Amino acid sequence: EDQVTQSPEALRLQEGESSSLNCSYTVSGLRGLFWYRQDPGKGPEFLFTLYSAGEEKEKERLKATLTKKESFLHITAPKPEDSATYLCAVQNQGDFNKFYFGSGTKLNVKP
Amino acid sequence: EAQVTQNPRYLITVTGKKLTVTCSQNMNHEYMSWYRQDPGLGLRQIYYSMNVEVTDKGDVPEGYKVSRKEKRNFPLILESPSPNQTSLYFCASRPGTGVGEQYFGPGTRLTVT
């Protein structure tokens, strides 16, 4: 069964303190791995799609990487406005109409 | 503005009273989907639709119905809501079945008493 586990559940950082969020996945064949940001009271907002091991994508202070078993979202010198819940999702190659989400990492960046 | 809209945003109802949550997108997307989000469980897919008149079950379809009569609309129907359907619901769309990220609506918070 396809499964996505995110860790840690919550992360508190000081402004400027870099860190990484982990997304471990089990899927019979990976079509795509997605990262979303979710602010309180809002729907998830797309950040990145990764398709194959070794792929990396960057956007401002965020960098997503992918291996065959996990993905990392690296946050460099975070700012308070980066505070949000970050969600990871996988899409199975065998049935790419279905998506499996992790329960998210809630990031709090203090000034 | 490209967007997915949901109505209502908040709903409190009683057990057994049929309700419909509407979802509409203005991006001409073929694929639409419904999710529920519960603490500690993440987003779970309820139903999805690959195009007009084509729908299929996600991971947690029990107690829900959907229809796709027009490309832009994908309503979620709870014919006899129960308290365990109290949740935060999101509608999403994407350009096609195989490609592209999903765009999410703002969510509907449903409470069933």
Give the confidence band of A2 by pLDDT, cuts at 50, 70, 90.
Answer: confident
pLDDT per position as a tens digit, A47-98: 999 999 999 999 999 999 999 999 999 999 999 999 999 999 999 888 888 8
Q: How many residues does chain B have?
A: 113
Task: Using an 8 Å CB-CB cutoff, list chain B residues near A103.
Answer: 40-42
**Given the DSSP bridges, would you call strands B10-13 and B108-112 parallel, antiparallel or unpaired?**
parallel
Q: Which residue has tokens 């500690």?
A: B40
User: Cβ–Cβ of B92/A45 closer than 8 Å?
Assistant: no
What percent of chain B has pLDDT above 90? 88
| Residue of A6, A36, A97, A106 best to disrupt the B interface, most CBs of B under 10 A | A97
* DSSP-assigned states of every residue in B92-108: EEESSSSSS--EE---E
User: Cβ–Cβ of B50/A97 closer than 8 Å?
Assistant: yes
How far apart CA A93 and CA A63 sit, in angstroms, is 24
Q: Does B27 have pLDDT greater than 70?
A: yes
Q: List the single residue in A45, A46, A98 with the smallest CB-CB distance to B58.
A: A98
Averaged over B17-31, what is the pLDDT? 96
Of the candidates B31, B4, B63, B74, the one whose C-alpha atom is nearest the C-alpha of residue A98 is B31
Q: Which residue has tokens 């999710």?
A: B35
pLDDT in the model for residue A28: 87
Q: List the single residue in B33, B98, B105 with the smallest CB-CB distance to A96.
A: B98
Give the confidence band of B99 by pLDDT, cuts at 50, 70, 90.
Answer: low
User: Cβ–Cβ of B41/A103 closer than 8 Å?
Assistant: yes
Token pair of B45, please?
């897919």
In which element (H, E) is residue A50 found? strand A45-50
pLDDT in the model for residue A94: 85
Which residues of chain A form beta strands (DSSP E)?
A: 3-7, 10-14, 19-26, 30-38, 45-50, 56-59, 62-66, 70-75, 84-92, 99-101, 105-110
How far apart CA A111 and CA A36 sit, in angstroms, is 23
pLDDT per position as a tens digit, A17-39: 999 999 999 988 899 999 999 99
CA dihedral over A37, A65, A74, A108, signed as positive or negative: positive
